[in-house]
C-alpha cells in the first residue's frame, strides 16, 4: 500500500509538467495579452511593462524560467498589483477551502442522510422528499438557486447577509471571534452544496437499495438484529463504495472553488481569481492556479483510492 | 398512490408556491431612510449642510463599492478604481471640481494659486504648512520625485504619455522613459523639466506652452511621492503599514480581493472630513452589489443599467438612485480600410438606420443619452445632437436614400461583421443593431462575440469591420477625445481615419494662440469626424447609475470626470446625516 501511494505521488511530477506545458502553450495562443486594451498603450509604455515582468523574453526562455522558478516554489508575480502568485493562491485558497469544506460537509451529511432515508422508506413520503430534493438540486443551476436564496432570505426576509465571506480572511484571524459572521456563511454554503448533495443523495439511495436487497441483509434481519444495527453496521458500510467514488471529484471541485458563487457573494476565493486571471491574461496566475488545481485533483483522487482500501478490506494495492 | 402520499405531495406543492411568492413579491425592507429627499434623479446635487445635520462621530462610517484596484501607487495606475481610491489618499497641485453647469473647473489643491507662466516655463508656489500623513512636511521636492517616477521606465507608468509629447509636453520625460542605457539614466533624470527651487516653489519647463497645464497637473500621474519611503520599502510602500499620503484619508487596512479601510489623515490641511471610516468593498458583480445595498450592507454602489428600473419600482429605493453622466461616448468604430465601409454613402446609411433613442431605452432602460456627437457634454466646446442629428441621426428615408446612392455607383453591399464583447448587454445591443440594419436596409451584419482581451487585440491589429467601442476621457479637455484618435497615423487611430480636413483642423488647433481659437479648431475637427463618420458612428453618451443611501450627504456631482464613485474628488465633503 505504501509503495502504491509513493508511486502515485511521484506520478504527480510528470503530470504537473505536462499540465504546465499545455497551459503555457494555450495561454500564448489565445489572442491578447495582459497589457492589451482598447485604449492602446503607447509602445514605450508597453515595452516598459513587458520588461518589468520579463514578457519581452523569447517564449522558450519564459517557459524555462517558469519551470525553473516554480520548481523552487516561485510562481512569479501577478500583473495585478505585483502580488506574488503564491500569496494570491494561498490567501484565496484559505477562503475557498473554508467554503468548499463547509459545502462538502453539508453535501455529504445531507446527501447521505437523505439518500439513506429515501432508500429505507422506498416509495414512501421520505423517499419522495429525497428524490424531489435531489431532482431539484441537480436541475437548478447554482447561480439560480443562489439568486433565489439571496432575494428571499437576504433582501426580503433579511435574515442573512450577502456580501463577502463570513469566516476568517487570514490565518491569523482563525481564533478571532470577530472574524466570523454566521449570517454571511449560510447562503453561499447552501448554494454551493445543493448540487453535490443531490448527487450524493441519488447515488447513496441507489447503492443502499441495492445492498438492502442482498441476502446477507435478509439473513441479518432473520437473525433478529436491531434495524439500526442492520442499517449502520451492514448496509451503509457496504453501500459506501459508489458514494466514495463520487466524493473525490466532488471534494476537489468544491475545494477549488466556484467562480459563480464567489462572484455572486463577493467572496475573495481562488475560484474567482483563476477565472479573472484568464479573462485578463494574467499569465503567471493562470499557470500557478492551474498547477495548484492539478495537485488538488490528483491528491483528491489518491485519497479516494486509499479510502477504498480502508472501507473494503478486499481491495489491496500493490 | 396512497392518500397519505397525495396529501404530502399537495402540501409540498403549496409550500413551494409560498416560497416562490415570498421571494417574488414585495420590495422587502430596504436600507432606505424613508424621509423624503430630493436626492434622486440625474446627477442631482445633494445639498451640503452644516455640522448640525451630521450624525455623531461614532456613526460617521460608510461602506462603498468599487472593483478591486490593481495598484494604490498613482504612478502605476491605469484604471478608474485605482484612481478613485487614490483621489481619497493623495492630492496633486490642482484638483478637478464640478463647475455647477455639468462640466468641470480646476482649483488649486496643494498649489497656492494658478501658475505664473513665462513662455514654456511654469512656476507654481505650494501652500505653506502642507504635511504628509506621518507629519513630515510636503515640499516641492516631493512633486519632483513623483514626476521622476512617472517618467521612469522601470516604474512603467501606463499614463506616462499624458506628460509626453503632444499632451503634457514635459521636457525630457519621453527621453527618460524610452531610455534603455542605464548609464544615461541619471543624466536624463537631472535634465527633466521639473525643479524645486525651494521647498515651496516648483519650476516646470515644457517643450512648448499648453492650454491644459492645470488640468493635466490635476491628474494622478502628477501626484507627489516620498523618496525616503519608497526607497525604504520598495513596491511595498503602499502597504497600510508603510504608506504615507497627503490627501484627506489614509489607508489603514487592505485585504486583497475583499476590502480596503480608509480613515482620516490626521495631518490633512484641507477641509476636515466628517467621515471617520470608509470601507471600500471590492465587488465586481454589480448585481450582487445591488442586492447588498438592499440588505443595508452598502451605503453607496454602482449598479447595472438594467437594475435602475427595478430600483425605481420600489418607493424607498427610487429615492436613492442617481444616474451620473459618464465622460465617455460609445460609438460603432468602423474600419475605413474596408472597401465598402470607406464609401460615405454606406456609412451614412448605417448611421441613419440606427434609432439611438430606442436603442438606449430598450437595451439600457433609458440610462444612457442618445448621441450623434463625439465630444461629451460638459466639456468646453460641446456641440451636441443639434449640430449633427440632421446629418447622421435616425432617419429611415435618408438611410435608404444613402444606400441607394451607394448602390447607384455599381457597388454591392457585402455581409459585414460586428465584433463585440460577449456580455448580455452587448449581445442585446448587437441584436438590436443587426435587426435595424436588416429591417431598414436589407444589409446582413453578422455579430461575433469574443472576450474583452480578444476584442482589444483585434482592435489594435485593425482586424475588424464594425466594432462597438468609444473613448473614456483621461482628462476633461476637448483635445483628449480627438488627438491621436483621428489624425492620420494617430496612435489610437485603429480605424484608419485619414481626412485632409480633419488633419487641417488639428494643425490649426496646434497653432492656435488663444484657448478660444484652439477650441474652435477642435470643434471643426469634431464636425468633420462626425459628419463624415471618419472611423466612428456615435451612438450614446454613457451614464453610470449608482445607489446612494439617503443617509449619505455631501456627495457632489462629478461633472465630466471619471465617475468611479460620484463626488469622489471631494470625499472630505461626504458625511452621514443625522437620523
> A45 vs B157: CB contact, 8 Å cut-off?
yes
Which grid cell is A46?
Answer: 508597453
For B2, which residue in chain A has the nearest alpha carbon? A124
Percent of chain B with pLDDT over 70: 90
The verdict on A31 touching B (C-beta cutoff 8 Å) is yes
* Kind of pairing between the strands at B94-98 and B416-421: unpaired
**Quick one: which of B174, B173, B158, B156 has its CA closest to B235?**
B156
> B161 vs A125: CB contact, 8 Å cut-off?
no
Global confidence as pTM:
0.86
Q: What is the mean pLDDT of chain B?
A: 89
The verdict on A172 touching B (C-beta cutoff 8 Å) is no
Residues of A in contact with B9 (CB under 8 A): 128
| Residues contacting B6, CB < 8 A, separation 6+ | none
Chain A nearest-CA distance from B8, in A, is 7
> B256 vs A38: CB contact, 8 Å cut-off?
no
> A268 vs B235: CB contact, 8 Å cut-off?
no
Residue B285: which of A33, A158, A266 has the nearest Cβ?
A: A266
Residue-wise DSSP of B270-281: SSPPS-SEEEEE
**Quick one: which of A187, A146, A186, A185 has its CA closest to A169?**
A185
ipTM associated with this complex = 0.83
Residue B28: which of A39, A87, A155 has the nearest Cβ?
A: A155
Residue B28: which of A45, A124, A156 has the nearest Cβ?
A: A156
How many angstroms separate the Cα of B232 from the Cα of each of A25, B144, B226, B242?
39, 18, 10, 9
Residues of B in contact with A81 (CB under 8 A): 69-71, 256
Distance CA B519, CA B509 (A): 7
The verdict on A28 touching B (C-beta cutoff 8 Å) is no
Q: What is the mean pLDDT of chain A?
A: 87
The H helix count followed by the E strand count for chain B is 18, 20
How many angstroms separate the Cα of A280 from the Cα of each of A58, A80, A261, B55?
21, 9, 20, 42
Residue-wise pLDDT for B214-273, tens only, equals 999 999 999 999 999 999 999 999 999 999 999 999 999 998 888 999 999 999 999 999
The verdict on A228 touching B (C-beta cutoff 8 Å) is no
> B283 vs A165: CB contact, 8 Å cut-off?
no
Residues of A in contact with B239 (CB under 8 A): none
Residue-wise pLDDT for A24-82, tens only, equals 999 999 999 999 887 878 888 888 888 888 899 999 999 999 999 988 889 999 998 88
A266: left (phi over 0), alpha (psi -120 to 50) or beta: left
Distance CA A175, CA A177 (A): 6
> B19 vs A266: CB contact, 8 Å cut-off?
no
For A79, which residue in chain B has the nearest alpha carbon? B70
Which grid cell is A144?
Answer: 439560480
Distance CA B153, CA B224 (A): 18
Average pLDDT over every residue of B63-67: 93
Residue B294: which of A155, A157, A272 has the nearest Cβ?
A: A155
> A268 vs B289: CB contact, 8 Å cut-off?
no
Residue-wise pLDDT for B111-168, tens only, equals 999 999 999 999 999 999 999 999 999 999 999 999 999 999 889 898 999 999 888 9
- Output the CA torsion sign for B318, B321, B325, B328: negative
The verdict on A158 touching B (C-beta cutoff 8 Å) is yes
Residue B160: which of A45, A128, A163 has the nearest Cβ?
A: A45
pLDDT of B37 strictly over 70: no
Amino acid at each position: 500500500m505504501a509503495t502504491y501511494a509513493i508511486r502515485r505521488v511521484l506520478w504527480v511530477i510528470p503530470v504537473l509538467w505536462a499540465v504546465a506545458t499545455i497551459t503555457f502553450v494555450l495561454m500564448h495562443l489565445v489572442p491578447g495579452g495582459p497589457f492589451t486594451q482598447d485604449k492602446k498603450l503607447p509602445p514605450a509604455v508597453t515595452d516598459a511593462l513587458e520588461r518589468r515582468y520579463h514578457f519581452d523574453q523569447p517564449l522558450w526562455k519564459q517557459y524555462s524560467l517558469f519551470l525553473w522558478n516554480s520548481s523552487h516554489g516561485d510562481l512569479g508575480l501577478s500583473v495585478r498589483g505585483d502580488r506574488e502568485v503564491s500569496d494570491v493562491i494561498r490567501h484565496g485558497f484559505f477562503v475557498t477551502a473554508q467554503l468548499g469544506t463547509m459545502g462538502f460537509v453539508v453535501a455529504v451529511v445531507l446527501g447521505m442522510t437523505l439518500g439513506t432515508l429515501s432508500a429505507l422508506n422506498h416509495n414512501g413520503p421520505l423517499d419522495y422528499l429525497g428524490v424531489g430534493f435531489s431532482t431539484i438540486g441537480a436541475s437548478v443551476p447554482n447561480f439560480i438557486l443562489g439568486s433565489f436564496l439571496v432575494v428571499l432570505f437576504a433582501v426580503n426576509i433579511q435574515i442573512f447577509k450577502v456580501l463577502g465571506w463570513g469566516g476568517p480572511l487570514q490565518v491569523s484571524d482563525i481564533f478571532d471571534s470577530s472574524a466570523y459572521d454566521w449570517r454571511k456563511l449560510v447562503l453561499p454554503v447552501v448554494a454551493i452544496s445543493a448540487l453535490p448533495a443531490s448527487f450524493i443523495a441519488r447515488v447513496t439511495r441507489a447503492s443502499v437499495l441495492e445492498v438492502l436487497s442482498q441476502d446477507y441483509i435478509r439473513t441479518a434481519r432473520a437473525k433478529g438484529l436491531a434495524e439500526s444495527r442492520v442499517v449502520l453496521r451492514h448496509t451503509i458500510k457496504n453501500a459506501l463504495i459508489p458514494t466514495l467514488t463520487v466524493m473525490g471529484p466532488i471534494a476537489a471541485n468544491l475545494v477549488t472553488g466556484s467562480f459563480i458563487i464567489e462572484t455572486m457573494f463577493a467572496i475573495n476565493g481562488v475560484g474567482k481569481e483563476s477565472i479573472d486571471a484568464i479573462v485578463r491574461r494574467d499569465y503567471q496566475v493562470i499557470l500557478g492556479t492551474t498547477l495548484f488545481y492539478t495537485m488538488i485533483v490528483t491528491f483528491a483522487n489518491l485519497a479516494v483510492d486509499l479510502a477504498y482500501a480502508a472501507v473494503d478490506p478486499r481491495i489491496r494495492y500493490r | 398512490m396512497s392518500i397519505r402520499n397525495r396529501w404530502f405531495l399537495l402540501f409540498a406543492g403549496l409550500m413551494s408556491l409560498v416560497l416562490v411568492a415570498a421571494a417574488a413579491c414585495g420590495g422587502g425592507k430596504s436600507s432606505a431612510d424613508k424621509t423624503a429627499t430630493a436626492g434622486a434623479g440625474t446627477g442631482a446635487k445633494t445639498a451640503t449642510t452644516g455640522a448640525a445635520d451630521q450624525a455623531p462621530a461614532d456613526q460617521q462610517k460608510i461602506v462603498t463599492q468599487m472593483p478591486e484596484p490593481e495598484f494604490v501607487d498613482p504612478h502605476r495606475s491605469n484604471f478608474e478604481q485605482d484612481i478613485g481610491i487614490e483621489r481619497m489618499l493623495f492630492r496633486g497641485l490642482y484638483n478637478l471640481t464640478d463647475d455647477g453647469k455639468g462640466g468641470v473647473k480646476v482649483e488649486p489643491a496643494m498649489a497656492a494659486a494658478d501658475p505664473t507662466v513665462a513662455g514654456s516655463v511654469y512656476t507654481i508656489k505650494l501652500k505653506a504648512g502642507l504635511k504628509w500623513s506621518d507629519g513630515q512636511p510636503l515640499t516641492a521636492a516631493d512633486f519632483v520625485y513623483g514626476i521622476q517616477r512617472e517618467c521612469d521606465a522601470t516604474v512603467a507608468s501606463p499614463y506616462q504619455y499624458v506628460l509626453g509629447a503632444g499632451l503634457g509636453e514635459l521636457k525630457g520625460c519621453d527621453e527618460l522613459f524610452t531610455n534603455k542605457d542605464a548609464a544615461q539614466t541619471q543624466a536624463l533624470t537631472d535634465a527633466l523639466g521639473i525643479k524645486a527651487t525651494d521647498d515651496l516653489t516648483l519650476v516646470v519647463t515644457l517643450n512648448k506652452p499648453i492650454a491644459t497645464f492645470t488640468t493635466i497637473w490635476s491628474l494622478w500621474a502628477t501626484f507627489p511621492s516620498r523618496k525616503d519611503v519608497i526607497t525604504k520599502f520598495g513596491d511595498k510602500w503602499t502597504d497600510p503599514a508603510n504608506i504615507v499620503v497627503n490627501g484627506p484619508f489614509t489607508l489603514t487596512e487592505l485585504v486583497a480581493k475583499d476590502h480596503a479601510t480608509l480613515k482620516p489623515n490626521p495631518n490633512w490641511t484641507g477641509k476636515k472630513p466628517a467621515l471617520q471610516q470608509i470601507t471600500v468593498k471590492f465587488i465586481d458583480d454589480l448585481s450582487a452589489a445591488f442586492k447588498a445595498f438592499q440588505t443595508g450592507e452598502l451605503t453607496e454602489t454602482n449598479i447595472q443599467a438594467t437594475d435602475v428600473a427595478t430600483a425605481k419600482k420600489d418607493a424607498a429605493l427610487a429615492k436613492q438612485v442617481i444616474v451620473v453622466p459618464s465622460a465617455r461616448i460609445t460609438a460603432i468604430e468602423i474600419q475605413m480600410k474596408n472597401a465598402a465601409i470607406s464609401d460615405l454613402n454606406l456609412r451614412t446609411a448605417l448611421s441613419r438606420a440606427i434609432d439611438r433613442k430606442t436603442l438606449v431605452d430598450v437595451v439600457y432602460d433609458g440610462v444612457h443619452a442618445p448621441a450623434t456627437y463625439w465630444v461629451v457634454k460638459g466639456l468646453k466646446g460641446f456641440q451636441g445632437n443639434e449640430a449633427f442629428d440632421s446629418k447622421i441621426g435616425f432617419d429611415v428615408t435618408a438611410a435608404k436614400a444613402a444606400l441607394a446612392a451607394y448602390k447607384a455607383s455599381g457597388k454591392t453591399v457585402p455581409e459585414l461583421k460586428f465584433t463585440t464583447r460577449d456580455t448580455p448587454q452587448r449581445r442585446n445591443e448587437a441584436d438590436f443593431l443587426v435587426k435595424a440594419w436588416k429591417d431598414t436596409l436589407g444589409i446582413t451584419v453578422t455579430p461575433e462575440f469574443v472576450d474583452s482581451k480578444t476584442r482589444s487585440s483585434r482592435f489594435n491589429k485593425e482586424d475588424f469591420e464594425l466594432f462597438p467601442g468609444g473613448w473614456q476621457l483621461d482628462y476633461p479637455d476637448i483635445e483628449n477625445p480627438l488627438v491621436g484618435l483621428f489624425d492620420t497615423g494617430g496612435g489610437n487611430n485603429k480605424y484608419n481615419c485619414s481626412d485632409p480636413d480633419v488633419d487641417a483642423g488639428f494643425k490649426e488647433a496646434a497653432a492656435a494662440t488663444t484657448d478660444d481659437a484652439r477650441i474652435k479648431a477642435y470643434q471643426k475637427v469634431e464636425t468633420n469626424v462626425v459628419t463624415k463618420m471618419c472611423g466612428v458612428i456615435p451612438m450614446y453618451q454613457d451614464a453610470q447609475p449608482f445607489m446612494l443611501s439617503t443617509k449619505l450627504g455631501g456627495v457632489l456631482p462629478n461633472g465630466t470626470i471619471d465617475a468611479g464613485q460620484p463626488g469622489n474628488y471631494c470625499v472630505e465633503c461626504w458625511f452621514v446625516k443625522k437620523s
